[in-house]
Homo-oligomer: A and B are copies of this chain.
Amino acid sequence: MSEKEVGVGILGYSIGKAHAYGWQDLSRYFYPPKLRPKLVALAGRSRDNVEFEADRFGIERTYSNWEDLVKDKEVEIFDNCAPPSMHAEPTIAAAEAGKQLVCEKPLAKNAPDAKKMLDAAERAHVKHMTGFNYRFLPAITFARELIRNGTLGKIHYFKGAYLNFDGGFDDPNFPIRWLHQSETAGYGALADLGTHAIDLARFLVGEVSSVSGASETFIKERPVQEGSSEKAMVDVDDTTIACMRFQNGALGLFESSWLTSGRIDYLRFEAYGTMGTLRFNLENLNELEVFIKDGQKGLEGFKRIPVVGKDHPYMKKFWTNQGVGFAWQYSFTNELNHYIECLASDKPLGPIGATFYDGYKAMLIMDAIAESSRTEKWIRVPE
Protein backbone atom coordinates (compact mmCIF):
# COMPACT_ATOMS: atom_id res chain seq x y z
CA MET A 1 0.00 0.00 0.00
CA SER A 2 1.45 3.32 -1.01
CA GLU A 3 1.95 5.81 1.78
CA LYS A 4 -0.47 8.37 0.46
CA GLU A 5 -2.64 6.76 -2.20
CA VAL A 6 -4.53 3.50 -2.27
CA GLY A 7 -5.77 1.95 -5.51
CA VAL A 8 -9.47 1.10 -5.79
CA GLY A 9 -11.00 -1.21 -8.36
CA ILE A 10 -14.77 -1.26 -8.76
CA LEU A 11 -16.81 -4.15 -10.16
CA GLY A 12 -20.12 -2.86 -11.55
CA TYR A 13 -21.15 0.59 -12.75
CA SER A 14 -24.67 0.94 -11.41
CA ILE A 15 -24.47 1.45 -7.64
CA GLY A 16 -20.77 1.44 -8.49
CA LYS A 17 -21.25 5.01 -9.62
CA ALA A 18 -22.36 6.09 -6.15
CA HIS A 19 -19.22 4.45 -4.80
CA ALA A 20 -17.05 6.15 -7.38
CA TYR A 21 -18.39 9.56 -6.35
CA GLY A 22 -17.82 8.61 -2.74
CA TRP A 23 -14.22 7.45 -3.18
CA GLN A 24 -13.40 10.66 -5.04
CA ASP A 25 -15.34 13.01 -2.77
CA LEU A 26 -14.08 11.81 0.59
CA SER A 27 -10.62 13.29 0.07
CA ARG A 28 -12.16 16.75 -0.27
CA TYR A 29 -14.88 16.54 2.37
CA PHE A 30 -12.80 14.87 5.06
CA TYR A 31 -9.70 16.88 4.37
CA PRO A 32 -6.89 16.06 4.82
CA PRO A 33 -7.54 12.33 4.24
CA LYS A 34 -5.41 9.80 6.03
CA LEU A 35 -5.07 7.91 2.80
CA ARG A 36 -6.15 9.06 -0.63
CA PRO A 37 -8.23 6.56 -2.61
CA LYS A 38 -7.49 6.52 -6.32
CA LEU A 39 -9.83 4.82 -8.78
CA VAL A 40 -7.55 2.68 -10.90
CA ALA A 41 -9.89 0.27 -12.68
CA LEU A 42 -13.53 -0.38 -13.44
CA ALA A 43 -15.00 -3.67 -14.58
CA GLY A 44 -18.45 -4.54 -15.91
CA ARG A 45 -20.34 -6.50 -18.51
CA SER A 46 -21.14 -3.86 -21.10
CA ARG A 47 -17.96 -2.52 -22.67
CA ASP A 48 -19.64 0.72 -23.79
CA ASN A 49 -21.06 1.49 -20.39
CA VAL A 50 -17.83 0.66 -18.61
CA GLU A 51 -15.87 2.96 -20.88
CA PHE A 52 -18.38 5.77 -20.52
CA GLU A 53 -18.34 5.59 -16.75
CA ALA A 54 -14.55 5.20 -16.60
CA ASP A 55 -14.28 8.39 -18.63
CA ARG A 56 -16.67 10.17 -16.31
CA PHE A 57 -14.48 9.45 -13.31
CA GLY A 58 -11.10 9.58 -15.04
CA ILE A 59 -10.40 5.89 -14.49
CA GLU A 60 -7.65 4.65 -16.78
CA ARG A 61 -8.22 0.92 -17.01
CA THR A 62 -11.41 -0.97 -17.78
CA TYR A 63 -12.19 -4.68 -17.85
CA SER A 64 -15.12 -6.71 -19.00
CA ASN A 65 -14.62 -9.50 -16.47
CA TRP A 66 -13.94 -9.60 -12.78
CA GLU A 67 -10.97 -11.93 -13.06
CA ASP A 68 -8.88 -9.25 -14.74
CA LEU A 69 -9.86 -6.77 -12.08
CA VAL A 70 -8.68 -9.15 -9.37
CA LYS A 71 -5.40 -9.65 -11.18
CA ASP A 72 -4.76 -5.90 -11.46
CA LYS A 73 -1.80 -5.26 -9.16
CA GLU A 74 -2.69 -1.65 -8.52
CA VAL A 75 -6.10 -2.64 -7.19
CA GLU A 76 -5.56 -2.65 -3.44
CA ILE A 77 -9.24 -2.27 -2.49
CA PHE A 78 -11.66 -4.51 -4.33
CA ASP A 79 -15.09 -2.86 -4.29
CA ASN A 80 -17.79 -5.25 -5.40
CA CYS A 81 -20.83 -3.37 -6.71
CA ALA A 82 -22.18 -6.19 -8.89
CA PRO A 83 -25.49 -8.07 -8.38
CA PRO A 84 -25.58 -10.60 -5.48
CA SER A 85 -24.95 -13.56 -7.76
CA MET A 86 -21.58 -12.00 -8.55
CA HIS A 87 -20.62 -11.36 -4.93
CA ALA A 88 -19.20 -14.60 -3.57
CA GLU A 89 -16.81 -15.87 -6.22
CA PRO A 90 -15.10 -12.60 -7.18
CA THR A 91 -14.89 -11.39 -3.59
CA ILE A 92 -13.39 -14.65 -2.37
CA ALA A 93 -10.88 -14.55 -5.22
CA ALA A 94 -10.01 -10.99 -4.30
CA ALA A 95 -9.56 -11.99 -0.67
CA GLU A 96 -7.23 -14.76 -1.72
CA ALA A 97 -5.29 -12.22 -3.78
CA GLY A 98 -4.91 -10.15 -0.59
CA LYS A 99 -7.17 -7.28 -1.61
CA GLN A 100 -8.95 -5.14 0.94
CA LEU A 101 -12.69 -5.74 0.56
CA VAL A 102 -15.85 -3.74 0.17
CA CYS A 103 -19.02 -5.48 -1.00
CA GLU A 104 -22.48 -4.08 -1.66
CA LYS A 105 -25.58 -5.39 0.11
CA PRO A 106 -26.95 -7.98 0.39
CA LEU A 107 -23.65 -9.69 1.00
CA ALA A 108 -24.64 -12.73 -1.06
CA LYS A 109 -27.57 -14.67 -2.52
CA ASN A 110 -27.88 -16.65 0.70
CA ALA A 111 -26.28 -17.17 4.08
CA PRO A 112 -24.00 -20.11 3.15
CA ASP A 113 -22.39 -18.02 0.40
CA ALA A 114 -22.06 -15.09 2.78
CA LYS A 115 -20.36 -17.36 5.32
CA LYS A 116 -17.79 -18.40 2.72
CA MET A 117 -17.06 -14.78 1.97
CA LEU A 118 -16.66 -13.97 5.65
CA ASP A 119 -14.35 -16.93 6.16
CA ALA A 120 -12.22 -16.01 3.14
CA ALA A 121 -11.89 -12.42 4.32
CA GLU A 122 -10.91 -13.46 7.81
CA ARG A 123 -8.38 -15.98 6.53
CA ALA A 124 -6.86 -13.22 4.41
CA HIS A 125 -6.68 -10.81 7.37
CA VAL A 126 -8.04 -7.94 5.29
CA LYS A 127 -10.59 -5.24 6.11
CA HIS A 128 -14.03 -6.27 4.94
CA MET A 129 -17.08 -4.06 4.80
CA THR A 130 -20.67 -4.76 3.74
CA GLY A 131 -22.29 -1.79 2.03
CA PHE A 132 -24.84 -0.85 4.66
CA ASN A 133 -24.41 2.81 3.84
CA TYR A 134 -27.42 4.07 5.81
CA ARG A 135 -25.60 3.48 9.09
CA PHE A 136 -23.58 6.52 8.07
CA LEU A 137 -26.42 8.97 7.76
CA PRO A 138 -25.92 11.38 10.64
CA ALA A 139 -29.50 10.90 11.85
CA ILE A 140 -29.06 7.13 12.03
CA THR A 141 -25.68 7.16 13.72
CA PHE A 142 -27.17 9.64 16.16
CA ALA A 143 -30.21 7.40 16.71
CA ARG A 144 -27.85 4.62 17.75
CA GLU A 145 -26.15 6.96 20.22
CA LEU A 146 -29.48 7.86 21.81
CA ILE A 147 -30.33 4.21 22.24
CA ARG A 148 -26.90 3.19 23.53
CA ASN A 149 -26.61 6.04 26.01
CA GLY A 150 -29.93 5.13 27.59
CA THR A 151 -31.92 8.21 26.55
CA LEU A 152 -34.79 5.97 25.43
CA GLY A 153 -34.51 3.36 28.17
CA LYS A 154 -34.85 -0.29 27.17
CA ILE A 155 -36.25 -0.85 23.68
CA HIS A 156 -39.29 -3.13 23.69
CA TYR A 157 -40.65 -2.63 20.19
CA PHE A 158 -38.93 -1.89 16.91
CA LYS A 159 -40.43 -1.40 13.47
CA GLY A 160 -38.28 -1.41 10.38
CA ALA A 161 -39.56 -0.96 6.85
CA TYR A 162 -38.27 -0.22 3.40
CA LEU A 163 -41.05 0.56 0.94
CA ASN A 164 -40.87 2.18 -2.48
CA PHE A 165 -41.92 1.62 -6.05
CA ASP A 166 -38.38 1.62 -7.33
CA GLY A 167 -38.83 3.92 -10.29
CA GLY A 168 -41.77 2.03 -11.71
CA PHE A 169 -41.84 -1.56 -10.42
CA ASP A 170 -45.52 -1.03 -9.53
CA ASP A 171 -46.21 -1.03 -13.27
CA PRO A 172 -46.65 -4.57 -14.67
CA ASN A 173 -45.25 -3.29 -17.97
CA PHE A 174 -41.98 -2.27 -16.40
CA PRO A 175 -39.46 -4.63 -18.04
CA ILE A 176 -37.80 -7.40 -16.13
CA ARG A 177 -34.41 -6.71 -14.57
CA TRP A 178 -31.87 -8.84 -12.76
CA LEU A 179 -33.53 -7.76 -9.53
CA HIS A 180 -36.64 -9.76 -10.48
CA GLN A 181 -34.97 -13.15 -10.72
CA SER A 182 -33.65 -15.31 -7.94
CA GLU A 183 -30.73 -16.58 -9.96
CA THR A 184 -29.10 -13.15 -9.96
CA ALA A 185 -30.67 -11.48 -6.95
CA GLY A 186 -31.35 -14.22 -4.41
CA TYR A 187 -34.46 -12.50 -3.13
CA GLY A 188 -36.60 -9.65 -4.44
CA ALA A 189 -37.73 -6.68 -2.35
CA LEU A 190 -36.38 -8.56 0.66
CA ALA A 191 -32.84 -8.38 -0.76
CA ASP A 192 -33.01 -5.08 -2.58
CA LEU A 193 -34.69 -3.12 0.19
CA GLY A 194 -35.40 -5.28 3.21
CA THR A 195 -31.76 -6.06 3.92
CA HIS A 196 -31.23 -2.44 4.95
CA ALA A 197 -34.12 -2.53 7.43
CA ILE A 198 -32.80 -5.81 8.84
CA ASP A 199 -29.32 -4.42 9.25
CA LEU A 200 -30.69 -1.37 11.04
CA ALA A 201 -32.69 -3.58 13.39
CA ARG A 202 -29.43 -5.27 14.44
CA PHE A 203 -27.52 -1.96 14.44
CA LEU A 204 -30.02 -0.27 16.71
CA VAL A 205 -31.56 -3.00 18.87
CA GLY A 206 -29.42 -6.14 18.69
CA GLU A 207 -29.64 -9.71 17.49
CA VAL A 208 -32.88 -11.20 16.18
CA SER A 209 -33.76 -14.60 17.64
CA SER A 210 -36.75 -15.73 15.58
CA VAL A 211 -38.98 -14.61 12.76
CA SER A 212 -42.31 -15.35 11.13
CA GLY A 213 -42.70 -13.97 7.65
CA ALA A 214 -44.81 -13.90 4.53
CA SER A 215 -43.68 -13.21 1.00
CA GLU A 216 -45.76 -12.73 -2.12
CA THR A 217 -45.17 -12.14 -5.80
CA PHE A 218 -48.01 -10.05 -7.21
CA ILE A 219 -46.66 -9.30 -10.67
CA LYS A 220 -45.70 -12.74 -11.86
CA GLU A 221 -44.27 -11.87 -15.25
CA ARG A 222 -42.82 -8.83 -16.97
CA PRO A 223 -41.88 -7.86 -20.55
CA VAL A 224 -38.36 -8.93 -21.45
CA GLN A 225 -37.77 -5.37 -22.53
CA GLU A 226 -39.56 -2.02 -22.86
CA GLY A 227 -42.65 -2.45 -25.00
CA SER A 228 -42.05 -6.11 -25.77
CA SER A 229 -44.93 -8.58 -25.76
CA GLU A 230 -42.59 -11.37 -24.77
CA LYS A 231 -42.71 -12.02 -21.04
CA ALA A 232 -40.29 -13.46 -18.50
CA MET A 233 -41.17 -14.98 -15.13
CA VAL A 234 -40.63 -13.09 -11.89
CA ASP A 235 -39.68 -15.62 -9.21
CA VAL A 236 -38.82 -13.33 -6.32
CA ASP A 237 -40.93 -11.58 -3.71
CA ASP A 238 -42.56 -8.23 -4.48
CA THR A 239 -43.48 -7.85 -0.84
CA THR A 240 -42.13 -9.53 2.27
CA ILE A 241 -43.29 -8.86 5.80
CA ALA A 242 -42.39 -10.45 9.12
CA CYS A 243 -42.86 -10.43 12.86
CA MET A 244 -39.64 -10.74 14.84
CA ARG A 245 -38.44 -11.43 18.33
CA PHE A 246 -35.13 -10.02 19.48
CA GLN A 247 -32.77 -11.77 21.87
CA ASN A 248 -33.30 -8.99 24.39
CA GLY A 249 -37.04 -9.67 24.49
CA ALA A 250 -38.21 -6.88 22.21
CA LEU A 251 -40.81 -7.46 19.52
CA GLY A 252 -40.11 -6.41 15.96
CA LEU A 253 -42.03 -5.75 12.78
CA PHE A 254 -40.48 -5.83 9.36
CA GLU A 255 -41.69 -4.91 5.87
CA SER A 256 -40.22 -4.54 2.42
CA SER A 257 -42.01 -3.95 -0.85
CA TRP A 258 -41.31 -2.39 -4.21
CA LEU A 259 -44.99 -2.23 -5.19
CA THR A 260 -45.94 0.44 -2.66
CA SER A 261 -46.93 3.23 -5.01
CA GLY A 262 -46.23 6.71 -3.75
CA ARG A 263 -43.55 5.65 -1.30
CA ILE A 264 -40.48 7.24 -2.78
CA ASP A 265 -37.80 5.80 -0.58
CA TYR A 266 -39.42 4.98 2.69
CA LEU A 267 -36.71 3.42 4.77
CA ARG A 268 -38.40 3.86 8.08
CA PHE A 269 -37.81 2.80 11.62
CA GLU A 270 -39.46 3.42 14.94
CA ALA A 271 -37.94 2.34 18.25
CA TYR A 272 -40.09 2.36 21.37
CA GLY A 273 -38.30 2.24 24.68
CA THR A 274 -39.24 2.49 28.32
CA MET A 275 -38.10 6.13 28.45
CA GLY A 276 -38.99 7.33 24.98
CA THR A 277 -39.42 6.80 21.31
CA LEU A 278 -37.59 7.67 18.13
CA ARG A 279 -38.56 7.66 14.45
CA PHE A 280 -36.68 8.05 11.20
CA ASN A 281 -37.74 8.18 7.55
CA LEU A 282 -35.21 8.24 4.72
CA GLU A 283 -37.59 10.48 2.76
CA ASN A 284 -36.64 13.14 5.32
CA LEU A 285 -33.14 11.95 5.96
CA ASN A 286 -31.77 14.86 7.96
CA GLU A 287 -34.34 14.56 10.71
CA LEU A 288 -34.87 12.37 13.72
CA GLU A 289 -38.11 12.53 15.66
CA VAL A 290 -37.69 11.92 19.35
CA PHE A 291 -40.15 11.68 22.21
CA ILE A 292 -38.59 11.69 25.65
CA LYS A 293 -40.55 11.01 28.81
CA ASP A 294 -39.02 13.86 30.73
CA GLY A 295 -42.01 14.63 32.88
CA GLN A 296 -42.35 18.24 31.73
CA LYS A 297 -46.03 18.76 32.44
CA GLY A 298 -47.97 19.78 29.39
CA LEU A 299 -44.85 20.02 27.25
CA GLU A 300 -44.40 16.43 26.15
CA GLY A 301 -44.39 15.75 22.43
CA PHE A 302 -42.33 14.51 19.55
CA LYS A 303 -39.38 16.72 18.79
CA ARG A 304 -38.29 17.00 15.20
CA ILE A 305 -34.54 17.24 15.47
CA PRO A 306 -32.70 18.45 12.38
CA VAL A 307 -29.56 16.33 12.61
CA VAL A 308 -27.39 18.89 10.89
CA GLY A 309 -25.68 20.81 13.65
CA LYS A 310 -22.09 20.70 14.73
CA ASP A 311 -22.91 18.41 17.66
CA HIS A 312 -24.04 15.64 15.34
CA PRO A 313 -22.06 12.79 13.80
CA TYR A 314 -19.86 13.55 10.77
CA MET A 315 -20.63 17.26 10.93
CA LYS A 316 -17.42 18.70 12.25
CA LYS A 317 -15.28 18.14 9.22
CA PHE A 318 -17.90 17.88 6.57
CA TRP A 319 -18.20 21.39 5.31
CA THR A 320 -21.63 21.26 3.80
CA ASN A 321 -22.82 21.85 7.31
CA GLN A 322 -25.77 23.71 5.89
CA GLY A 323 -29.09 23.72 7.66
CA VAL A 324 -30.86 21.68 5.08
CA GLY A 325 -28.33 18.94 5.31
CA PHE A 326 -27.22 15.79 3.62
CA ALA A 327 -28.30 13.91 0.55
CA TRP A 328 -28.30 10.15 -0.03
CA GLN A 329 -25.02 10.31 -1.92
CA TYR A 330 -23.18 11.52 1.16
CA SER A 331 -24.00 8.29 3.01
CA PHE A 332 -21.51 6.64 0.65
CA THR A 333 -18.95 9.37 1.16
CA ASN A 334 -19.18 8.95 4.93
CA GLU A 335 -19.14 5.16 4.71
CA LEU A 336 -16.13 4.94 2.41
CA ASN A 337 -14.31 7.55 4.43
CA HIS A 338 -14.87 5.45 7.51
CA TYR A 339 -13.40 2.49 5.67
CA ILE A 340 -10.38 4.52 4.59
CA GLU A 341 -9.80 5.82 8.12
CA CYS A 342 -9.98 2.33 9.57
CA LEU A 343 -7.66 1.04 6.87
CA ALA A 344 -5.16 3.84 7.40
CA SER A 345 -5.14 3.41 11.18
CA ASP A 346 -5.76 -0.33 11.20
CA LYS A 347 -8.79 0.08 13.45
CA PRO A 348 -11.81 -2.24 13.45
CA LEU A 349 -14.73 -1.11 11.28
CA GLY A 350 -17.30 -1.92 13.93
CA PRO A 351 -19.47 -1.19 15.66
CA ILE A 352 -20.44 1.66 13.33
CA GLY A 353 -19.18 0.09 10.13
CA ALA A 354 -20.71 -3.19 8.95
CA THR A 355 -18.28 -6.02 8.35
CA PHE A 356 -18.93 -9.21 6.37
CA TYR A 357 -20.07 -10.67 9.71
CA ASP A 358 -22.90 -8.16 9.72
CA GLY A 359 -23.66 -8.96 6.11
CA TYR A 360 -23.74 -12.66 6.97
CA LYS A 361 -26.03 -12.14 9.98
CA ALA A 362 -28.46 -10.14 7.85
CA MET A 363 -28.49 -13.02 5.32
CA LEU A 364 -29.29 -15.50 8.07
CA ILE A 365 -32.33 -13.45 9.01
CA MET A 366 -33.41 -13.12 5.37
CA ASP A 367 -33.08 -16.88 4.84
CA ALA A 368 -35.11 -17.47 8.01
CA ILE A 369 -37.89 -15.14 6.83
CA ALA A 370 -38.01 -16.92 3.48
CA GLU A 371 -38.13 -20.31 5.15
CA SER A 372 -40.87 -19.12 7.49
CA SER A 373 -42.94 -17.94 4.54
CA ARG A 374 -42.62 -21.40 2.93
CA THR A 375 -43.27 -23.44 6.07
CA GLU A 376 -45.79 -21.15 7.83
CA LYS A 377 -43.88 -21.52 11.08
CA TRP A 378 -41.70 -19.31 13.25
CA ILE A 379 -38.03 -19.96 12.48
CA ARG A 380 -35.13 -19.54 14.90
CA VAL A 381 -32.29 -17.50 13.47
CA PRO A 382 -29.02 -19.48 13.85
CA GLU A 383 -26.55 -17.94 16.29
Tell me the minimal C-beta distance from A246 to chain B in angstroms. 11
Contact code string A4-44 (vs B, CB < 8 Å = 1, else 0): 00000000000001100100100010011000000000000
Return chain B residues, CB-CB under 8 Å to A277.
260-263
Is there a chain B Cβ closer than 8 Å to A175's Cβ? no
Q: Determine the main DSSP class of A at the interface with B.
A: mixed
- Check if B170 sits within 8 Å of A293, measured CB to CB: yes
- Check if B243 sits within 8 Å of A241, measured CB to CB: yes
Tell me the minimal C-beta distance from A174 to chain B in angstroms. 12
- Check if B328 sits within 8 Å of A324, measured CB to CB: yes
Return chain B residues, CB-CB under 8 Å to A276.
261-262
Least CB separation from A245: chain B residue: B214
Once the chains are docked, how many angstroms separate the CA of A300 from the CA of B260? 14
- Check if A261 sits within 8 Å of B293, measured CB to CB: yes
- Check if A320 sits within 8 Å of B324, measured CB to CB: no
- Check if A243 sits within 8 Å of B214, measured CB to CB: yes
Q: Which of B214, B284, B307, B324 contacts A327 (CB 8 A)?
A: B324
- Check if A214 sits within 8 Å of B251, measured CB to CB: yes
Is there a chain B Cβ closer than 8 Å to A178's Cβ? no
Once the chains are docked, how many angstroms separate the CA of A18 from the CA of B214? 39
Count identical subunits in the complex.
4
Is there a chain B Cβ closer than 8 Å to A322's Cβ? yes
List chain A positions with a Cβ less than 8 A from chain B: 17-18, 21, 24, 28, 31-32, 55-57, 142, 156-157, 159, 164, 170, 210, 212-214, 216, 218, 239, 241-243, 245, 249, 251, 253, 255, 257, 259-265, 272-277, 282-285, 290-291, 293, 297-309, 311-312, 319-320, 322-330, 376-378
Q: Which of B257, B302, B376 contacts A212 (CB 8 A)?
A: B376
- Check if A305 sits within 8 Å of B309, measured CB to CB: no
Once the chains are docked, how many angstroms separate the CA of A307 from the CA of B249? 33
Supply 9 further A-B pairs (C-beta < 8 A) apart from A142-B298, A242-B243, A284-B284. Answer: A253-B253, A261-B276, A262-B301, A264-B306, A299-B303, A301-B303, A301-B305, A324-B327, A326-B327
- Check if B303 sits within 8 Å of A309, measured CB to CB: no
Tell me the minimal C-beta distance from A310 to chain B in angstroms. 8
Once the chains are docked, how many angstroms separate the CA of A277 from the CA of B164? 12
**Given A259-B157, A322-B328, A214 and B212 touching (CB < 8 A)?**
yes
Once the chains are docked, how many angstroms separate the CA of A174 from the CA of B281? 32
- Check if A157 sits within 8 Å of B239, measured CB to CB: yes
Tell me the minimal C-beta distance from A27 to chain B in angstroms. 8
Once the chains are docked, how many angstroms separate the CA of A63 from the CA of B252? 46
- Check if B309 sits within 8 Å of A320, measured CB to CB: no
Tell me the minimal C-beta distance from A12 to chain B in angstroms. 14
